[in-house]
Amino acid sequence: MNTSTTERFVSLVSTYEIDPLDAAAFARIATASVDQIAGKPGCLYYSASQDLKQANVFHLAEGWATQADLDSHLNSPDFLTMLEQALTLRIVRRDIYVSESAGRTLLG
């Protein structure tokens, strides 16, 4: 059963290209981030994925009920610690896009 909502929310999509020597370390950080972030207030969804064709490329997708929820997450001690760990790695490229989304459909 599909369900839809037209409630607006904030979407954050990022791609990280990591030096291949640091890909395993980034994968560990990304994996740990799922449990830490997905249960936060206002988090609608959170996904951390490793690219199937390029093992040193990671995609993060997040949905937040409000900008204030996203801001709270981005300023939380646990996120800042995780970010600090990631920034010690050799990041070749980082692209981050934040947008307002018009709604979503849950496929079931």
Please give the DSSP secondary-structure letter assigned to residue 56: T
How does pLDDT run across 1-47, given as a tens digit for each residue?
555 666 889 999 999 999 999 999 999 999 999 988 999 999 999 99
pTM of the predicted model, to two decimals?
Answer: 0.86
Distances (CA, A) of 75 to 19, 47, 79, 86, 99: 26, 19, 7, 16, 18
Structural domains in the chain? 11-100 (3.30.70.100)
Compute the distance between CA of residue 19 and CA of residue 5 in angstroms, rounded to an integer.
39
Alpha-carbon distance values, 104 to 42, 79, 101 (Å): 15, 25, 8
